[in-house]
Structure 1
Amino acid sequence: MVQLTEVEDEHFNEKPLPSKNNILLASDDEDEDYTDTESEISNDEEFELETETLYERIAALKDIIPPSARRQVNSSVSTVTSFAKSSLSFSGKALWILSTSAFLLGVPWALAYAEEEQYIQMEREQGMIRGANEMLSPGLAAENKETQPTL
């Protein structure tokens, strides 16, 4: 069985001593300023404005905006993007449902309607042909009516 023991760092056990002017973080050597030697601070000689992209310029401006404002902007942008994604997703699904329903219901109805229109047109043509035949031979049509038995 493994037994864990906590090892405390001596640095965290000591309380910082205030220096002159009651400043906690200032060192005794106030002539030395804190510098980060590993930072990416460029010299004036190495800085080339032409090679810097627009994204790099905007990314460098993020330190100007306070963290609370950045969080607020970030949350509002994420809210808008999530709303846009859900709206596009819903509209895409609704469009899919409407289009498949139109194909499944509309196409058979359109075919049946076209067939019915063909029958109606065919009946009209037959009626016109009968009317034309009666006009061309009026006596023949009257004789046919008299000789036909009625049911």
Structure 2
Amino acid sequence: MVKLTEVEDEHFTTEKPVPSKDSLLVSDNEDDDDYTDTESEISVDSAYDGESETLYQRIVALKDMIPPQSRRRIVGTVSSLTSFTKSTFSFSGKALWVISTSAFLLGVPWALAFAEEEQYVQMEREQGMMRGANEMLTPGADAAAAALGAANPEQKSQAAL
């Protein structure tokens, strides 16, 4: 078991003189302003190698600076955001799957039927244009045949043979 003992620094244990009311910021010892503790073990014997420490190790070391309540709140927030993000991506993936398969199952047959209908319409246009061209070449032939067919349907069937 480790037993902790608090060791106070000499700088904090010595009593400082209380300034008088007349002096505002006057110090008896001018060296107190630039005081540094040069006898500490850290400054003399340091085995710390900052070059070999990774960023992850530095972040983990900073963990102790944050109070436990704040850490719990941060961890809770991060875990809820992570859960929300995972569920959103999962739902989006499933919705995309449903939409894409529905489009293939319903859209492809519709597109094929639409293309076939367009072909029929195009063929009818071409036939209409051919009739119009024939009408221009022989202007009275169709009208005479139509009049003849209306007058005598038997002659029309014989003329066609």
How far apart are residue 143 of structure 1 and its match? Answer: 2.9
C-alpha distance after superposition, 1:58-97 (max 9, x if no partner): 0000011111111110001000000000001001100100
What TM-score does the superposition give when structure 1 sets the normalisation length? Answer: 0.68
Distance 1:44 1:111, change over 3 A: farther
Question: Structure 1: which 5+ residue stretches go unaligned?
Answer: 1-26, 35-42
Distance 1:44 1:61, change over 3 A: farther
Distance 1:135 1:47, change over 3 A: same
Q: Hey, what's the Cα distance between the residues in 2 that align with 1:52 and 1:81?
A: 28
What TM-score does the superposition give when structure 2 sets the normalisation length? Answer: 0.64
* Residue 51 of structure 2 is aligned to residue 50 of structure 1: yes
Q: Hey, what's the Cα distance between the residues in 2 that align with 1:97 and 1:44?
A: 66
**Mapping for residues 64-103 of structure 1, pairs under 5 Å:** 64-103=65-104
Q: Is the partner of 2:51 in helix, strand or coil?
A: coil
* Residue 12 of structure 2 is aligned to residue 33 of structure 1: no
How far apart are residue 47 of structure 1 and its match? Answer: 1.7
Q: Is the partner of 2:140 in helix, strand or coil?
A: helix
| Amino acid in the other structure paired with 2:5 | D
Q: Hey, what's the Cα distance between the residues in 2 that align with 1:99 and 1:112?
A: 19
Report the structure number with the largest CA radius of gyration.
Answer: 2
| Amino acid in the other structure paired with 1:77 | V
What residue is the counterpart of 1:128 in the other structure?
129
| Amino acid in the other structure paired with 1:104 | L
**Mapping for residues 98-109 of structure 1, pairs under 5 Å:** 98-109=99-110
Which structure: greater helix fraction? 2
Q: Hey, what's the Cα distance between the residues in 1 that align with 2:101 and 2:127?
A: 39
What residue is the counterpart of 2:119 in the other structure?
118
Over 6 Å off, 4+ runs? none
* Residue 118 of structure 2 is aligned to residue 146 of structure 1: no
Instruction: State the identity %.
Output: 63
How far apart are residue 45 of structure 1 and its match? Answer: 4.2
Q: Is the partner of 2:102 in helix, strand or coil?
A: helix
Q: Hey, what's the Cα distance between the residues in 1 that align with 2:101 and 2:48?
A: 60
What residue is the counterpart of 2:159 in the other structure?
none
What residue is the counterpart of 1:24 in the other structure?
none
Q: Hey, what's the Cα distance between the residues in 2 that align with 1:108 and 1:89?
A: 29
How far apart are residue 145 of structure 1 and its match? Answer: 1.8
Question: Structure 2: which 5+ residue stretches go unaligned?
Answer: 7-43, 157-161
